[in-house]
């Protein structure tokens, strides 16, 4: 029997003791974060590991939950940090519990760190858009998460300059990674600038709004729209959209399955071959999208 305990946004101790793996997650404020729990749980059960999961609403609660996980007797800890400092992990590290980090390293004491590749996402998007012969691309910068946005758009702009120096790249700022923001911005651009023929939305939600705006604009000269993430909703759009070519680059919550694989290896006495693992930002379009569809995933 697999031991499973899910601890959500309260501070009551979990009843399960001695799980092999404890997984500490961020608050589930969007479908991407919710899907982390889905993918982690599926992989834990596929590996036959006993486990407990925790979901923190803020840094203070996650600090408390990490302490709870250590006290439960877990033998490996997977952490998606919710603004915690490196001192929070000392309780696990001092107890000799290996820590596998997802997205952010925080401290050098971790056993392994699994990350997506924002720079590669931008570069690969540029290569794809250049292959479509775009003349004028609009790239959206999003202030909601400047670190990810800057890395993606910076790499995109650099690669477009190298791959297709004659292509004009214009950047425009958005506040949020939302379909509504993407649609509103794209609608204005489509109405005012007939030279624009491609969009690097650098997010699937934003890209979905761009596609909607293109459909409503009546323009049939937009060559391509590229997002980033890999949501199941967007995968469906890749297949169904007819007003333009649609693609995305993977920055998927399914990456957390690698953390579970590493925890399983460590429990079996196998040390990670690499301390930092960067997952590829694969381009997904009509040719390969069916490989990534999962009707059960919340993202």
CATH of the domain at 225: 3.40.50.2300
CB 100 within 8 A of CB 259: yes
Structural domain contains residue 283: no
Positive/negative CA dihedral, 60, 66, 67, 68 = positive
Residues 256 and 262: their CA atoms lie apart, in Å, by 10
User: Among 257, 245, 134, which Cα is nearest to 195's?
Assistant: 134
Structural domain contains residue 130: yes
Exposed/middle/buried for 290, CB within 10 Å: 0-12, 13-18, 19+? exposed
Residues in the chain: 299
Host H or E run for residue 126: helix 118-131
Structural domain contains residue 190: yes
Question: Do residues 228 and 123 share a domain?
Answer: yes
Structural domain contains residue 74: yes
Question: Do residues 223 and 257 share a domain?
Answer: no
Question: Do residues 132 and 245 share a domain?
Answer: yes
Question: Do residues 245 and 258 share a domain?
Answer: no
Question: Do residues 54 and 104 share a domain?
Answer: yes
Structural domain contains residue 276: no
Axis crossing angle, helix 146-163 with helix 118-131, rounded to the nearest 10: 40
Question: Do residues 124 and 89 share a domain?
Answer: no
Question: Do residues 176 and 88 share a domain?
Answer: no
Residues 189 and 141: their CA atoms lie apart, in Å, by 15
Per the structure block, which two tokens stand in for 117?
């590749």
Question: Do residues 184 and 232 share a domain?
Answer: yes
Instruction: Check residue 298 and give its pLDDT.
Output: 86
Question: Do residues 102 and 146 share a domain?
Answer: no
The residues, any chain, with a CB within 8 Å of residue 160's CB and separated by 6 or more, are: 126, 129, 130, 137, 167, 169
CB 221 within 8 A of CB 193: no
Count structural domains, the chain.
Answer: 2
In whole angstroms, how large is the CA radius of gyration of the chain? 21
Structural domain contains residue 278: no
Mean pLDDT split into 10-residue runs, the chain, 299 residues: 48 61 89 90 96 94 95 95 91 95 87 96 98 97 90 97 96 93 97 97 96 97 97 96 97 95 96 93 97 91
Question: Do residues 125 and 160 share a domain?
Answer: yes
Residues 178 and 68: their CA atoms lie apart, in Å, by 35
Q: Which domain holds residue 95?
A: 4-115+253-268
Structural domain contains residue 67: yes
Indicate the pTM of the whole model.
0.84
Question: Do residues 131 and 220 share a domain?
Answer: yes
Question: Do residues 128 and 233 share a domain?
Answer: yes
Three-point CA angle 135, 141, 145, nearest 5°: 150
Long-range contacts of 103-106 (CB under 8 A, 24+ apart): 105/276, 106/81
Structural domain contains residue 288: no
């Amino acid at each position: 029997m697999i031991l499973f305990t899910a601890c959500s946004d309260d501070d009551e101790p979990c009843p399960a003791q001695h799980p092999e793996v404890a997984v500490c997650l961020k608050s589930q404020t969007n479908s991407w974060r919710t899907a982390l729990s889905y993918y982690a749980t599926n992989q834990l059960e596929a590996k036959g590991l006993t486990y407990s999961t925790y979901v923190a609403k803020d840094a203070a609660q996650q600090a408390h939950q990490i302490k709870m996980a250590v006290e439960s007797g877990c033998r490996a800890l997977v952490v998606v940090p919710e603004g915690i400092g490196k001192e929070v992990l000392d309780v696990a590290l001092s107890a000799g519990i290996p820590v596998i980090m997802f997205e952010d390293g925080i401290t050098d004491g971790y056993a392994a760190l699994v990350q997506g590749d924002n720079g590669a996402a931008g570069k690969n998007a540029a290569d794809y858009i250049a292959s479509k012969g775009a003349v004028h691309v609009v790239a959206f910068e999003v202030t909601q998460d400047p670190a990810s946005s800057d890395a993606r758009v910076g790499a995109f702009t650099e690669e477009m300059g190298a791959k297709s120096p004659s292509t004009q790249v214009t950047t425009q700022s958005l506040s949020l990674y939302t379909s509504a923001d993407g649609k509103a911005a794209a609608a204005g651009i489509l109405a005012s600038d007939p030279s624009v023929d491609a969009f690097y939305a650098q997010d699937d939600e934003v890209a979905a709004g761009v596609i909607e705006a293109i459909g409503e604009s009546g323009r049939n000269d937009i060559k391509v729209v590229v997002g980033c993430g890999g949501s199941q909703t967007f995968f469906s759009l890749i297949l169904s959209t007819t007003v333009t070519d649609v693609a995305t680059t993977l920055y998927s919550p399914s990456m957390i399955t690698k953390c579970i694989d590493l925890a399983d290896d460590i429990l079996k006495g196998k040390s990670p071959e690499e301390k930092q693992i960067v997952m590829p930002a694969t381009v997904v379009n009509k040719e390969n999208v069916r490989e990534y569809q999962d009707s059960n995933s919340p993202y």
